[in-house]
Amino acid sequence: MFRFFKLRKWFVWSWLGSLIILLSLWVQVKIDVKINEWFGVFYDMIQKALATPNAITIEEYWSSLASFITLAGMYIALYVAISFFTAHYLFRWRTAMVEWYHSVYDKASKIEGASQRVQEDTIKFTRIMEGLGTSFIESVMVLFQFVPILLGLSIGIPIFFFGDWQYGLITGALLWTLGGTAFLIGLGWILRLVGVEYDLQKKEAAYRKILVVAEDDDNVRPKTINELFDDVRSIHFLSYIRYLYFNVGRMAYLQANVLSAYVFLAPAIVAGVVTLGVMQQIIRAFGRVEGSMQYLLKAWPTIIELASVYKRLREFENVINSSTSTSIDEKI
């Protein structure tokens, strides 16, 4: 699965490509910091204009909007470019995996669900790994950039439960995030979501295989096909029930999450010790820090899918390697 990073053939794409993606993420985060600063200046200007008529000129207003358009344009251009590059990067990774599978397919083809492993799971694995990897690195970069900003904005501002403590907002975001993450990981473990996802793919593979066999073998009984489809239906219905409970807990937390910054800022807002611009900066910075800390929480369904795909590919490669070793032993 990770031959892409080991083989010299793919050195440029794997390591240099990864570096390009990392640098692009860093630039995106820096642009995001500038956008956060813009929010503070813009909303302070709005507050000034609403409090005192004609306190700002129309030119200042349009100039501020133009600044945002410039920053947003840079962000969008970089996002589109790196998305295009990442698509090629992922296909090279998939190619490195598939080339090895092709080289041993005379043995791999005898394994149940081999076609699904080679065709479907390889693209799933590379896409999920890239998505989770880049989002994790971006989360770390955001923390490094926005935590100092949030600390600077928190000085002298009363925070709910923590009072005037400078680290109140950071601690509040951390406690809220850890609590939600622990809750959902525990819920996913109780509902055995990884196991259900694995069983689902296994049943689908068996059903797909019998359909392929039936195309060339008239002896395959319709009853056998129906029985396998009944297994597929049962595991899907089970997964629907399990994810129903999981999504209730996950969405309840994420909806409550919208209010978390306002709850912690309640004393400062009521006391009127922050301007509209500073409040917007704090809320946005708090959201970015909190969002980064919630990496596991937001990515948990994807992590479950990755665990299932990885488990299938690992078993697939283990069977191939054991078959290869057996063949060598027999020749000796």
Kindly tell me the burial class for residue 219, based on how many C-beta atoms sit within 10 Å of its own C-beta (0-12, 13-18, 19 or more). exposed
pLDDT for the residue 76: 92
CA dihedral 115, 117, 118, 120 (to 10 degrees): 90
pLDDT for the residue 145: 84
- Judged by phi (left if over 0) then psi (alpha if -120 to 50, else beta), residue 46 lies in alpha
Q: Which residue range(s) make up the domain with 85?
A: 3-331
**Cα(165)–Cα(155) distance, rounded to whole angstroms?**
8
pLDDT for the residue 83: 84
Which of 320, 328, 330, 329 lies closest to 111 in space, CA to CA?
320
**Cα(280)–Cα(321) distance, rounded to whole angstroms?**
57
Quickly tell me which residue has 């956060």 as its tokens: 36
Which positions of the chain have pLDDT values less than 50?
A: 328-332
Angle between the N-to-C axes of helices 17-51 and 276-293, in degrees from 0 to 180, rounded to the nearest 10: 150
pLDDT for the residue 195: 81
The CATH number of residue 34's host domain is 1.20.1560.10
158: helix, strand or coil: coil
pLDDT for the residue 217: 63
**Cα(176)–Cα(242) distance, rounded to whole angstroms?**
25
**Cα(327)–Cα(318) distance, rounded to whole angstroms?**
14
H or E element at residue 279:
helix 276-293
**Cα(109)–Cα(105) distance, rounded to whole angstroms?**
5
Question: pLDDT for 270-303, tens place per residue?
Answer: 888 888 888 888 888 888 888 887 777 777 778 8
**Cα(318)–Cα(313) distance, rounded to whole angstroms?**
8
Helix extents (H) in 52-165: 58-103, 105-108, 114-116, 122-154
Which of 142, 144, 169 lies closest to 155 in space, CA to CA?
169
pLDDT for the residue 329: 40
Instruction: Report residue 59 CA to chain centroid gap.
Output: 41
Tell me how many domains the chain contains.
1
Question: pLDDT for 236-266, tens place per residue?
Answer: 888 889 889 888 888 888 888 888 888 888 8
Which pair of tokens denotes residue 272? 């009127």
Nearest-5° Cα angle at 311, 308 to 314: 150
Instruction: Report residue 67 CA to chain centroid gap.
Output: 30
Residue 275 contacts residue 267 (beta carbons within 8 Å):
no
| Longest alpha-carbon distance in the chain | 92
Beta bridge partner(s), residue 159: 163
